[in-house]
Structure 1
Amino acid sequence: MSNAQASHWQGIQQVVVVGLGITGLSVVKHLQALPYNLTIKVIDTRTTPPGLDELDDSIATHIGSWQAQWLLEADLIVTNPGIALATAEIQAALAKDIPVVGDIELFAWAVNAPVVAITGSNGKSTVTDLTGVLAKAAGINVGVGGNIGVPALELLQQDCELYVLELSSFQLETTSSLELVAAAYLNLSEDHMDRYPGGMADYGLAKQRIFKHAQTAIVNRDDKATYPESAVNPNIDTISFGFDDVEFGLIQMIDSSKEKSCEFLAKNGQALLAVDELSLVGRHNLSNALVALALLDCVGVTLKDTFSVLKAYAGLTHRCQLVADNGGVKWINDSKATNVASTLAALSGLQLDGCLHLLVGGVGKGADFSDLAPVLATLNVQLHCFGQDGDQFMPLHPSALRWDNIDQAIAAIAPSLKSGDAVMLSPACASFDQYRNFMARGDAFTQLALHYAKL
């Protein structure tokens, strides 16, 4: 460990970890592996927190409530991102100038390789995963995690050449020294308002923290809230992405192999890859691809080395995931779309040569689905409504058909499918009327897709 890293631990002996689970356990294991004589205690207000049985006898625990005295005696508090800094017990510690950090801050103190990170209200998991996949394709030993998959501190055990982190606003609240080669801020929309008393201003400010020690900001040309505020980092470079021909964007040009004008992903007006060669579905995923390319460009990756893998990348499971393509018929699993906004994103800019068979329904949670109607009116669509609240979708489009479940709908759809058509599950509803969770619903759709695609 370098002198700079060791300096963070000067004067720290008593450390209290607040919150167990996957992240909390990664924190405890990281602390135990450090070359310091730390006294580690764990507080979890849950009566049976996950991971409790994995702690050894050297760790003192307080379970089922707060232990305020431990907090006030600590030299350092490491809190789970699910615990708001506004919590009274945390505020009492902050009032005594006891530092409160999260696992990402501990990662920042220890990391020895370049890091890029992604935040935003929507799309950050796909961008994080895709960036990691493309970096690996370029021959880089890459670690991918944070708010997705593997906790950041566990990634340090892999001794990577590059780290790609997804960071939530909750994680950024307790992060102050993370140095990034590039930081991508995808978008800002209303979310987590119960966590932020100041509303969107507080939420946006938390996400701005990703830029504090970043060399380059990657920002959304269509969302000015994603641009770094000068007070956060006045010297940061900025690269933008969007759907016009500026910086990382889109251009129209003649594809000589197809003898027609095609849309291309582009950098500074220079074509990179034809959009119609991508397996990714949905206009929003073009943005995601552009951001991943911009991040890799910032760390010196030769972009052409990633193109073959980018073409084949079909997305994260249950998020506009292409699960079958047989005879020109695409089957798309977007079971993660459990609300109207997610389904609208999946439909935005969707381009098909044939008919879209859209499966919607489940438990609507009192939502208003009327915003889907004007979008559906612009599409060549057959609407298939199922589940507990399927009736609420019936007035949205004249093509709407009512089914009891997904199995029944797909059995009816399959015989009429032809090249250019697509079958998409993007239900705009929760799944628990008929499935354990959205993953089980998506898995069921995928199995049906694979079965009918073979017929």
Structure 2
Amino acid sequence: MTTSTAADVLLHKGSGLQVVVGLGQSGLSVAHYLANQGYQVAVTDAQAAPKLANQLPPEISIRQFGSIDAELLQQAARIIISPGISLDTDAVAAARQANIPVVSDIQLFCEACTVPIVAITGSNAKSTVTTLVGQMAADAGVNVGVGGNIGVPALTLLANDDMELAVLELSSFQLETVTNLGAQVATVLNMSPDHLDRHGDMLGYHQAKHRIFQGAKSVVINREDALTRPLVADNLPRVSTSIQAPDKGQYGLIIDSEGQTYLARGTERLLSADKLLIKGRHNLLNAQAALALGELAGLPLDSMLQTLQQFSGLDHRCQYVAKVTNIDYFNDSKGTNIGSTIAAIQGLGEVYAPKDGKLLLILGGQGKGQQFGELTSFINQYVSHVLMIGEDAKMIEQHLRSAKLSEDVALYQCQTMENAFATVPQVTKSSLSQVQAVLLSPACASFDQYSGYAARGEHFIQLVNQLSMANQVV
């Protein structure tokens, strides 16, 4: 679709034309923001009829749909690219070659934002930590805006004139076009292979993530993961987290003589782990990260600890669903990469291992170029059955077997979630079964079979509920 002619477009050359590439939620927010600022704005999208086109401001008449318009991009004073569109797209790459600035909505936000920013990225747990820090701020009486990759476009937060603090979840796609974010506190929570199909290799992925530290006034690092440490500015104030005992002034875990685990800062025991509603070692790290970020943002510790005890986690992130025939079911559909699934396996595995329990893992979808053999040691330790679904299921099985999967772990090719649920009763009904929990943590994208991870998770919950009802009838 085109609502202006090429001649019309050429009239705007050299007039400071702002071209928005991609008309998703973030692109729509950019279009509204720039139009309200008085800029001349054009929009282009590869879809012939973008769903949000009818929500564009009426004064935006230049709408080039059906392909990303290379000619239009060459006329831009600045291009604002949506995170879902690769910088290697031909039209975008050509514009960059012509030295036309390409930025994201996050760049516009940080240039306009006048309040401190808490900036959060990582391969996993971004949404959990972002939500938790936002809730800590709100509970402490701070007028806080929470947005970014979490689903609320960052630019919409600027409509709140009374905002005192901005908490942003940022993806590698958003960060690769951000310069000098200037956050009050920034963190890379963890690093594991993800989006290598977009970034090319771990170096490219690492470089994108670490742009979050540009201009930061303080940082939080994970002592378990050297890749979370900024490579420069060692003189910045920093606080660290770990599953080990903490050093002075740092966060970590203290285990007492009776085996009880505590969140701690230095030698001070802050909170017993059994007071948390969120479970697993990975969530103990998430809790520490939120406390450290909040500390560097000036939030009061007592209030943060109160919030932490009331926080039940997010949907589709190691979410407890139900117990059916003495087996617990957990929905971790948001586990779309290997690192996230390792965290879920290890976190829940350690809960059931003392009871001689094992996990049944549902794995698979679109693999995104990952090496699934990295899961093997964790599966060997905590999992007795793996049910594989989705487009790359057979490839995943090959990776696991090549990485010396234990003979004690049974693999099943199920293709679909329904087939997986038909298989669960077959493999758990034996009196010898050690399965005490079923975990959906696919380590893969969902788009081969679902509209997104949320739809996949809702389907899992639906099938658990059906299984529960069937067993009640029996």
TM-score tier (shorter): 0.7 to 0.9
Instruction: Give distance in 2, aligned partners of 1:328 and 1:313.
Output: 26
- Match status 1:28 vs 2:31: yes
| Counterpart Cα distance in 2 of 1:326 and 1:303 | 39
The answer on whether the counterparts of 1:17 and 1:42 sit within 8 Å (CA) in structure 2 is yes
- Aligned counterparts of 2:169 and 2:143: Cα–Cα separation in 1: 17
Query: In the TM superposition, what whole-angstrom CA distance separates every residue of 1:23-80 from its partner, at most 9, and x where no partner exists?
Result: 110001111222x3x2111122332233222224421111223444433333322222
The aligned counterpart of 2:6 is none
Distance in 2, Cα, partners of 1:436 & 1:297: 38
Task: Please say if residues 12 and 76 of structure 1, whose CA atoms lie closer than 8 Å, have aligned partners that are also in contact.
Answer: no
1:54 aligns with 2:49: no
Cα 1:429/1:168, change in 2 over 3 Å = closer
1:442 paired with 2:430, answer no
Deviates more, 1:95-104 or 1:386-395: 386-395
Compute the displacement of 1:449 (Å).
Answer: 5.0
- Alignment TM-score, normalising by the size of structure 1: 0.81
440, 452, 474: which one pairs with 1:425? 440
Question: Relative to 1, partners in 2 of residues 1:439 and 1:206: Cα closer, same or farther, differing over 3 Å?
Answer: closer
Residue identity opposite 1:124 in structure 2: K
Q: Determine if contact 1:241/1:248 at 8 Å carries over to the other structure.
A: yes
- Report what 2:314 is aligned to: 316
Letter in 2 for 1:317: D
Corresponding residue of 2:3: none
Alignment match, 1:238: 238
Provide the C-alpha distance between the structure 2 equivalents of 1:205 and 1:340, rounded to a whole number of angstroms.
Answer: 19
Q: 1:429 to 1:405 in 2, by over 3 A?
A: farther
The separation in 2 between residues aligned to 1:176 and 1:282, in whole angstroms, is 35
Deviations 1:201-254 (A, max 9, x none): 333222222111111011122322322222xx4652222211222311111236
Amino acid at match of 1:248: Y
> Structure 1 pair 326/266, CA: closer, same or farther in 2 (3 Å)?
farther
| 1:61/1:358 CA distance change after superposition, 3 Å | same
Between 298-307 and 63-72, report the one with greater CA deviation.
63-72
Is the aligned partner of 1:176 residue 2:179? yes
Q: 1:276 to 1:325 in 2, by over 3 A?
A: farther
Q: Distance in 1 between matches of 2:460 and 2:337?
A: 18
**Cα distance in 2 for residues equivalent to 1:203 and 1:139:** 36
Deviation of 1:275 after TM superposition, in Å, equals 1.7
Query: TM-score, normalization: structure 2?
Result: 0.78
Contact kept? 1:342, 1:428, Cα under 8 Å: yes
Contact in 1 for aligned 2:196/2:370 (Cα 8 Å): no
Query: Is 2:350 aligned against 1:351?
Result: yes
Query: Displacement, 1:182?
Result: 0.3
Shift of 1:339: 5.6
Deviations 1:145-182 (A, max 9, x none): 11111010012223422211111222122222422110
Deviation at 1:356, TM superposition (A): 3.7
Matches within 5 A, 1:287-326: 287-324=285-322
**CA distance, structure 1, for counterparts of residue 96 and residue 366 of structure 2:** 41
Contact 1:314 1:322 in 2 (8 A): no
**C-alpha displacement at 1:317, in angstroms?**
1.6
Change (3 A) 1:329 1:220: same
Q: 2:408 aligns with which of 395, 398, 411?
A: 398
Structure 1 residues 50 and 236 mapped into 2: Cα distance closer, same or farther (>3 Å)? farther
Q: Provide the rounded CA distance (Å) in 2 between the counterparts of 1:225 and 1:368.
A: 19
After the TM superposition, which of the residue ranges 24-33 and 125-134 deviates more from structure 2?
Answer: 125-134
Deviation at 1:137, TM superposition (A): 2.8
Q: Is the 8 A contact 1:126 1:316 kept in 2?
A: yes
Q: 1:237 to 1:327 in 2, by over 3 A?
A: farther
Deviation at 1:434, TM superposition (A): 7.7
| Equivalenced residues, count | 433
Flag the 1:111–1:351 CA change in 2: closer, same or farther, 3 A: same
Match of 1:155 among 154, 157, 163: 157
Structure 2 distance, partners of 1:367, 1:201, is 14
Counterpart residue number, 2:45: 44
- 1:284–1:444: structure 2 CA closer, same or farther, 3 Å change rule? same
Does structure 2 retain, via aligned residues, the 8 Å contact 1:75–1:99? yes
Q: Is 1:228 matched with 2:226? A: no
Partners of 1:363 and 1:432 within 8 A in 2 = yes
What do residues 425-447 of structure 1 show as CA deviations (whole Å, max 9, x unaligned)? 33456768986654344224334
The answer to whether the 8 Å contact 1:335/1:426 transfers is yes
Is the contact between residue 386 and residue 405 of structure 1 (CA under 8 Å) also seen in structure 2?
A: no
Counterpart-to-counterpart distance in 2, 1:132 and 1:423: 31
Q: 1:121-160 residue pairs with structure 2 within 5 A? A: 121-159=123-161, 160=163
For the Cα contact (< 8 Å) 2:222–2:242, is it kept in 1? yes
- Is the CA contact (8 Å cut-off) linking 1:282 and 1:347 kept in structure 2? no
Q: Is the 8 A contact 1:119 1:166 kept in 2?
A: yes
Match of 2:8 in 1: none
Aligned partner letter, 1:236:
L
Among candidates 349, 359, 362, match of residue 360 of structure 1: 362
Determine the C-alpha separation between the residues in 1 that align with 2:67 and 2:288.
46
Identity of aligned residues (%): 42
The residue identity in structure 2 corresponding to 1:425 is: L
SS of equivalent residue, structure 2 residue 220:
strand
Is the contact between residue 332 and residue 425 of structure 1 (CA under 8 Å) also seen in structure 2? yes
CA distance in 1, matches of 2:58, 2:272: 58
Letter in 2 for 1:351: E
Q: Structure 1, residues 301-352: CA drift from partner, whole Å, max 9, x if none?
A: 1122133432343322212112347999753211333565543221124322
More helix by share: 2
Amino acid at match of 2:114: N
Q: 1:142 to 1:449 in 2, by over 3 A?
A: farther
- Secondary structure of 2:217's partner? strand
8 Å CA contact 2:124, 2:339 repeated in 1: no
